[in-house]
């Protein structure tokens, strides 16, 4: 099946199998930030944004991307400059091994796009479904707070 969608701001057309997972399809298209952790929708490592919502791509079929606007971490930086969310994760040390980071960043982006100034409880709720074995989550919460503040100062 031919899948036509917008990926990281660019129009894309690519063949996909009816039973191909979005995760595998996106990786085949070169989106290496989309990681397979559990393959069961439990860890969030494969989180992408589809039409403004964070979605685990291991539970979505590639044909479901047809007609959508889809974002992966590859689409966040502009002109070689990291997105404020990416920058905040680096600056506060919210990345350790880095495996969960792309999914965390995408969940943070989906949250901040909907709620530019979230409370700590809203951050915790927005990051649910993203597991990290290294950080203990405190620095991830700090990174989302920092990104919200910096994004707010730019507007």
Same domain, 111 and 131: yes
Identify whether the C-beta of residue 112 lies closer than 8 Å to the C-beta of residue 58: no
Same domain, 65 and 111: no
Dump pLDDT digits (tens) for 100-140. 999 999 999 999 999 999 999 999 999 999 999 887 899 99
Identify whether the C-beta of residue 79 lies closer than 8 Å to the C-beta of residue 73: no
The CATH number assigned to the domain holding 36 equals 3.10.20.30
Backbone angles phi, psi at 21, to 5 degrees: -70, 150
**pLDDT confidence bin for 155, thresholds 50/70/90:** low
Contacts of 30 (CB under 8 A, 6+ apart): 74
The CATH number assigned to the domain holding 89 equals 1.10.150.120
Q: What pLDDT score does 152 carry?
A: 78
Can you give the C-alpha Rg of the chain in angstroms?
15
Same domain, 67 and 6: yes
pTM for the structure as a whole:
0.94
Average pLDDT, stretch 6-33?
A: 98
Number of compact structural domains in the chain: 2
Minimal CA–CA distance to 16: which of 33, 6, 28, 7?
28
């Amino acid at each position: 099946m031919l899948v036509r969608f917008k990926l990281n701001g660019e129009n894309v057309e690519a063949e996909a199998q009816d039973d191909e997972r979005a995760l595998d399809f996106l990786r085949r298209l070169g989106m290496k930030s989309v990681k397979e952790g559990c393959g069961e929708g439990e860890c969030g490592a494969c989180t992408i944004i589809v039409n403004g919502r964070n979605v685990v791509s291991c539970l979505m079929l590639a044909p479901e991307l047809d007609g959508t606007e889809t974002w992966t971490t590859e689409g966040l930086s502009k002109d070689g400059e990291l997105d404020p969310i990416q920058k905040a994760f680096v600056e506060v040390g919210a990345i350790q091994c880095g495996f969960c980071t792309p999914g965390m960043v995408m969940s943070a982006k989906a949250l901040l796009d909907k709620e530019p100034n979230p409370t700590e409880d809203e951050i915790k709720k927005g990051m649910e479904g993203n597991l990290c074995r290294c950080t203990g989550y405190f620095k991830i919460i700090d990174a989302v707070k920092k990104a919200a503040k910096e994004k707010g100062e730019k507007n």
